[in-house]
Structure 1
Amino acid sequence: MGFEGATGKFGAKRALRVGVVGAGVMGTNHARVLAGLPDTTLIGIVDPLPEHRARATELAGCRAFATLDELLAEGVDAVTIAAPTHLHHEVALACIARGIHILV
């Protein structure tokens, strides 16, 4: 059974808009996989370190953001959190507060 996609204002199917938080090895891999999924649009990846953002852009072919707020401002339906473990709680709560689905 596959994902049926998000629905727009009038019930029309549209791609799920996803983002990745954390552009280390695991986050970059998540971004690469998400970018290749059908009915999914990878909006981008967020990481405070410029070198991580550059690597993620190169390997996953996506936009990169320095802050979570920048990514969320682009409009995502869901994010996968691959930031360091001690940040999971803070990032998850920020997304939940905005009605964004999370995978931690």
Structure 2
Amino acid sequence: MKRILLFCSAGMSTSLLVTKMQNAAKAMEMDVSIDAFPEAEMASHLDDADVVLLGPQIRFALGRAKKLCSEKNIPVDVINSMDYGMMDGEKVLKTALKMMENQNREDHP
């Protein structure tokens, strides 16, 4: 099972997006785990993550997130602010899946 983690200021604003992403995954018959946490807890949740996405409101934390995630070979990026604003769970899920696919390509050329 793939694990997608979303981080934002307090872990609350991404909860609706997580639900929409879970619904999109279910519609695509995909077995993924999607959770949201406060950015301050990032280091303690990365062990079994396959991809990390940051809410646009914590874009400033991308440098720290990249440092933490690179140590564990986890792709990380900021969620597109338009997709986030529209709460487009399907599009954000597809972005996360593409990030995992690209990471796998880099790991196994």
Cα contact 1:18–1:79 (8 A) shared by 2: yes
For 1:35 and 1:67, the matched residues in 2 are separated by: 22
Q: Which runs of 5+ in 2 are unaligned?
A: 79-109
- What residue in structure 2 maps to residue 87 of structure 1? 61
Deviations along 1:59-87, one digit per CA (max 9) or x if unpaired, are: xxxxxxx61122113x1111111151211
Cα offset, 1:24, TM superposition: 4.6
- TM-score (structure 2 length as normaliser): 0.52
Going by fraction, where is helix more abundant, 1 or 2?
A: 2
Alignment of 1:1-104 (within 5 A): 15-22=1-8, 23-25=11-13, 27-36=14-23, 37=25, 38-42=30-34, 44-47=35-38, 67-73=41-47, 75-82=48-55, 84-104=58-78
- Unaligned 5+ residue runs, structure 1? 1-14, 49-65
Amino acid at match of 2:33: T
Report the count of equivalent residues: 70
SS in 2 for 1:17: strand
Inter-partner Cα distance in structure 2 for 1:33 and 1:96: 27
Structure 2 residue identity aligned to 1:80: L
Cα root mean square deviation, aligned: 2.2
Query: Identity over aligned residues, as a percent?
Result: 13
User: Retained in 2: the 8 A contact 1:45–1:71?
Assistant: no
Structure showing greater relative contact order (alpha-carbon pairs closer than 8 Å, 6 or more residues apart):
2
CA distance 1:81–1:39, change in 2 (3 Å) = same
Q: Deviations over 1:24-71 (max 9, x none)?
A: 53x3343223322123112x22216xxxxxxxxxxxxxxxxx611221
Distance in 2 (CA, whole Å) between partners of 1:103 and 1:35 is 19
